[in-house]
């Protein structure tokens, strides 16, 4: 799968590119420089040889050197990726809590005013472009009501030794409370924006699976057995409904990644979304390849985690009762 | 025909969601068509006219949405951008849907190696964030409307193939298709008479919502200044001068983005409402053949009076 994606990226980046060496060497480079750059990146070789180099570098986890900064791409990725991970995980947390919660309420109060209001809310956020949401968040919560900082991830002014590279986690591990506070403070606005604008499908699926299970026989049976209402709701309705929702939450990971491109741009978040955008507009395809690789890896890992969670949610697999 | 039209109308008007969507989408499409047909005569000002005396005006009666940093009327720019935005989105969705119908039917009907290849290909395309791929393609191909459409289509077709293939697989397993095959009907005949009527409604409903998503992605490309030719008015790009106008003149960037939002909401509410009323997963024949609605209404009636303790979900996954 990953290899297939790598193949697509390779063909698109190589077939569409007229002459990247020209761009990488700069507009006023001498012809010798351009030739040297082309040779360094094997650009004059036949396409199959390039494919070979490409896969060799991918499989060894060595993405090469960034033709624009001259640094190793791997080190750049390792710098940017944790920041994005921090943002995406924080959004994920919000999505899970809010999405599942709203979907649950909406499903349990089917047909009521609350239901319509919740549905209107998630359908509208779903059709809001990321840039609009981010701009409004910035305007309202950072300019008109200056509650939160407008950009950055809060690392400025703090010396910290990276353990995981995730600022909030690092400062928590090292018990550096001011740094933790600054990190969280900077995280709130971008993470909430990203979460609210991507979560639309989660409450929707949650709601429809609640509606599916709510009147099903096993729930009736549970009530007939005289279980407490709370227990019925928790163990028989919510748990069943979470199975489909888990799948969907895993797919929202992909959207979160697309969202980071815009949100990181607007909130000046030094993450991989911004990094890949810069790579894209400057036709810097070694970096682009690395970014797509990381994104794809993220999506695959998310799906894997969902697969691991299923057995815990589905009593037919673990406990063999209910169901 | 008129009977079916009436049923469809009732179907849409019965649901406030699809009603709102229909009205909004129609307004924008009509504006876009009018703008194209009259060659830009319906805008109150020339959207390209730079006028520094009137730069950065707030919204007023003369300039509904105000003017931008070069004194161009934003309302006129928005109107001028509609044909581009709606046109490309519709084109992308139509081409993707056609690809999906053709490839999905072939894959679902013939199975075998072709099916395998197509499915793995869609898997790969669905595995990474679409926008990165279309950004990359649009950036490398250079700014032009055709290139933008291409870059979107490349990532847009896989869901349609899946949708159609799934439906065709289900239809191909039906007895009436086996009978038809036994009667030596040709492949095309079976597709036309059995497969397409079952597949098209769900594709149509999905495509309606999808026009909105295409619009979102397109305007995001515009926002990132990728792919749209420099002089072309485009809603996403109008929203992209945030660096110098977000805090000083928020209306300049927020209004075009709001227009995108309303437009996207229009298309997705329409699609969502249709999906709810039709429950296409279970009753796909209603839209095409028009004769299922009585049954649909009967079943709605039964839901209320019948033995079922509560309504079924009308949402498909």
Chain A nearest C-alpha distance from B10 (Å): 21
Q: Are both A169 and A213 inside the same structural domain? A: yes
Q: Are both A226 and A264 inside the same structural domain? A: yes
Q: Are both A190 and A107 inside the same structural domain? A: yes
Domain of A106?
82-313
| The predicted structure's pLDDT at residue B6 | 73
Note whether B146 contacts A: Cβ–Cβ < 8 A: no
CA distance B110 to B128: 28
| The predicted structure's pLDDT at residue B108 | 85
**Is residue A98 included in any domain, yes or no?**
yes
Q: B261 and A128: CB-CB below 8 Å? A: yes
More confident site: A228 or A156: A228
Number of domains in chain A: 2
At B40-61, the pLDDT tens digits run 777 777 777 777 777 777 787 7
Quote the distance between the C-alpha of residue A205 and its chain's center: 19
**Is residue A170 included in any domain, yes or no?**
yes
At A167-217, the pLDDT tens digits run 777 777 777 777 777 878 888 888 888 888 888 888 888 888 888 787 778
| The predicted structure's pLDDT at residue B89 | 93
Q: Are both A106 and A173 inside the same structural domain? A: yes
| The predicted structure's pLDDT at residue B93 | 94
Q: Are both A172 and A129 inside the same structural domain? A: yes
CA distance B151 to B95: 12
In degrees, to the nearest 5, what angle opens at C-alpha B235 toward C-alphas B234 and B239? 115
Chain B nearest C-alpha distance from A54 (Å): 18
Calculate mean pLDDT across residues A276-282: 82
Q: Are both A100 and A247 inside the same structural domain? A: yes
Q: A4 and B315: CB-CB below 8 Å? A: no
Neighbours of A217 (CB within 10 A): 8
> Which of A59, A74, A108 is the endpoint of a domain?
A59
| The predicted structure's pLDDT at residue B285 | 38
| The predicted structure's pLDDT at residue A12 | 65
Chain B contact probe: residue of A12, A132, A149, A274 with most B CBs at under 10 A: A132
Chain A nearest C-alpha distance from B184 (Å): 39
More confident site: A53 or B252: B252
B128: nearest CB among A5, A136, A262: A5
**Is residue A321 included in any domain, yes or no?**
no
Q: Are both A23 and A169 inside the same structural domain? A: no
- ipTM over 0.95? The verdict is no
More confident site: A118 or B9: A118
Residue A111 in this model has a pLDDT that exceeds 80: no
Neighbours of B295 (CB within 10 A): 12
**Is residue A71 included in any domain, yes or no?**
no
Quickly list DSSP for chain B.
-HHHHHHHHHHHHTSHHHHHHHHHHHHHHHHHHHHHHTTS-SSSS-TT---GGGTTPPP-SSSTT-B-TT--BHHHHHHHHHHHHHHHHHHHHHHHHHHHHHHHHHHHHH-HHHHHHHHHHHHHHHHS-HHHHHHHHHHHH-S-HHHHHHHHHHHHSHHHHHHHHHHHHHHHTSHHHHHHHHTT--HHHHIIIIIHHHHHHHHHHHHHHHHHHHHHHHHHHHHTT-SS-TT---HHHHTTTHHHHTTT-HHHHHHHHHHHHHHHHHHHHHHHHHHHHH-TTT-THHHHHS-SHHHHHHHHHHHHHSS-SSPPP----
**Is residue A106 included in any domain, yes or no?**
yes
**Is residue A126 included in any domain, yes or no?**
yes
Q: Are both A48 and A175 inside the same structural domain? A: no
Residue of B nearest to A124 (CA): B265
CA distance A90 to A193: 11
CA distance B141 to B153: 14
Q: Are both A130 and A279 inside the same structural domain? A: yes
Q: A16 and B137: CB-CB below 8 Å? A: yes
Chain A contact probe: residue of B129, B239, B241 with most A CBs at under 10 A: B129
B131: nearest CB among A8, A261, A299: A261
| The predicted structure's pLDDT at residue A317 | 52
Instruction: Say which CATH number the domain at A262 has.
Output: 1.10.3720.10
Calculate mean pLDDT across residues A115-122: 86
CA distance A212 to B143: 47
At B262-312, the pLDDT tens digits run 999 898 888 877 777 665 443 333 333 333 344 444 444 444 444 444 444
Q: B128 and A292: CB-CB below 8 Å? A: yes
Chain B nearest C-alpha distance from A176 (Å): 33
Calculate mean pLDDT across residues A265-283: 83
Query: Tokens 């995280």 identify what position?
Result: A187
Residue B94 in this model has a pLDDT that exceeds 90: yes
Nearest Cα to Cα of residue A2 among B157, B121, B124: B124
| Residues from chain A contacting residue B315 (CB–CB below 8 Å) | 204, 207-208, 211
The pLDDT-based confidence of A21 (bands split at 50, 70, 90) is low
Q: Are both A178 and A302 inside the same structural domain? A: yes
**Is residue A69 included in any domain, yes or no?**
no
Q: Which two tokens stand for residue B69?
A: 């940093």
- Looking at mean pLDDT, say which of A162-171, A231-240, A309-318, B158-167 comes out highest: B158-167
**Is residue A90 included in any domain, yes or no?**
yes
| The predicted structure's pLDDT at residue B118 | 86
B254: nearest CB among A136, A261, A285: A136
Note whether B216 contacts A: Cβ–Cβ < 8 A: yes
Q: Are both A113 and A215 inside the same structural domain? A: yes
Mean pLDDT of chain A: 77
Chain A nearest C-alpha distance from B72 (Å): 21
Q: Which two tokens stand for residue B88?
A: 């490309």
State which H helix or E strand residue A180 sits in.
Answer: helix A177-198
Q: Are both A267 and A123 inside the same structural domain? A: yes
Contact A22, A34 (CB under 8 A): yes
- Looking at mean pLDDT, say which of A89-93, A161-165, A185-189, A202-206 comes out highest: A89-93
CA distance B302 to A51: 62
> What's this model's pTM, rounded to 2 decimal places?
0.80
Note whether B313 contacts A: Cβ–Cβ < 8 A: yes
| The predicted structure's pLDDT at residue A62 | 66
User: How large a percentage of chain B has pLDDT more than 70?
Assistant: 82
């Amino acid at each position: 799968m990953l290899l297939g994606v790598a193949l697509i990226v390779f063909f698109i980046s190589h077939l569409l590119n007229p002459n990247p060496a020209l761009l990488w060497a700069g507009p006023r480079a001498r012809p010798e420089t351009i030739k040297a750059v082309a040779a360094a990146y094997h650009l004059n070789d036949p396409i199959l040889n390039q494919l070979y180099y490409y896969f060799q570098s991918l499989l060894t986890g060595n993405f090469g050197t960034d033709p624009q900064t001259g640094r190793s791409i791997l080190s750049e990725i390792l710098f940017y990726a944790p920041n994005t991970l921090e943002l995406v995980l924080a959004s994920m947390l919000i999505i899970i809590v809010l999405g599942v919660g709203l979907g649950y309420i909406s499903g349990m109060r089917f047909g009521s005013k609350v239901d319509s209001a919740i549905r209107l809310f998630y359908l509208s956020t779903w059709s809001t472009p990321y840039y609009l949401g981010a701009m409004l968040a910035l305007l309202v919560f950072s300019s008109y009501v200056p509650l939160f900082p407008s950009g950055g991830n809060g690392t400025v002014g703090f010396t910290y030794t990276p353990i995981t590279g995730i600022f909030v986690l690092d400062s928590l591990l090292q018990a550096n409370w001011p740094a933790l506070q600054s990190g969280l403070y900077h995280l709130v606005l971008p993470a909430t924006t990203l979460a609210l604008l991507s979560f639309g499908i989660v409450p929707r699926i949650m709601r429809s699976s609640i509606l599916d299970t709510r009147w099903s026989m096993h729930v009736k049976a549970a009530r007939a057995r005289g279980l407490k209402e709370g227990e019925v709701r928790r163990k028989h309705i919510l748990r069943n409904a979470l199975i489909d929702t888990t799948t969907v939450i895993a797919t929202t990971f992909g959207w979160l990644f697309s969202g980071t491109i815009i949100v990181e741009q607007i909130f000046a978040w030094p993450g991989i979304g911004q990094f890949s955008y810069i790579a894209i507009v400057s036709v810097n395809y070694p970096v682009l390849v690395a970014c797509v690789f990381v994104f794809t890896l993220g999506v695959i890992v998310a799906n894997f985690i969902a697969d691991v969670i299923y057995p815990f949610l589905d009593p037919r697999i673990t406990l063999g009762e209910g169901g | 025909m008129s009977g079916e039209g009436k049923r469809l109308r009732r179907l849409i008007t019965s649901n406030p969601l699809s009603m709102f969507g229909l009205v909004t989408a129609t307004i924008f499409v009509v504006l876009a068509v009018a703008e194209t047909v009259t060659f830009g005569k319906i805008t109150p000002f020339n959207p390209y006219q730079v006028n520094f005396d009137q730069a950065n005006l707030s919204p007023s009666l003369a300039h509904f949405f105000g003017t931008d940093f070069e004194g161009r009327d934003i309302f006129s720019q928005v109107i001028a951008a509609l044909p581009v935005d709606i046109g490309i989105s519709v084109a992308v969705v139509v081409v993707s849907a056609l690809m999906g119908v053709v490839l999905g039917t072939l894959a679902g009907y013939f199975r075998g190696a072709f099916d395998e290849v197509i499915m793995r290909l869609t898997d790969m395309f669905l595995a990474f964030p679409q926008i990165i791929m279309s950004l990359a393609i649009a950036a490398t191909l250079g700014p032009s409307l055709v290139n933008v459409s291409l870059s979107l289509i490349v990532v847009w077709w896989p869901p349609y193939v899946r949708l159609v293939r799934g439906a065709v697989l289900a239809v191909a397993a039906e007895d009436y298709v086996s009978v038809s095959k036994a009667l030596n009907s040709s492949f095309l005949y079976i597709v036309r008479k059995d497969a397409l009527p079952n597949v098209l409604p769900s594709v149509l409903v999905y495509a309606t919502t999808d026009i909105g998503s295409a619009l979102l992605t397109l305007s995001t490309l515009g926002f990132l200044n990728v792919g749209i030719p420099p002089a072309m008015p485009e809603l996403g790009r109008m929203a992209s001068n945030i660096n110098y106008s977000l805090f000083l003149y928020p209306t300049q960037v927020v209004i075009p983005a709001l227009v995108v939002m309303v437009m996207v909401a229009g298309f997705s509410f329409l699609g969502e409402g249709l999906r709810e009323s039709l429950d296409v997963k279970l009753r796909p024949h209603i839209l095409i053949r028009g004769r299922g609605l009585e049954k649909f209404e009967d079943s709605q009636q039964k839901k209320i009076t019948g033995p079922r303790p509560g309504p079924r979900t009308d949402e498909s996954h």
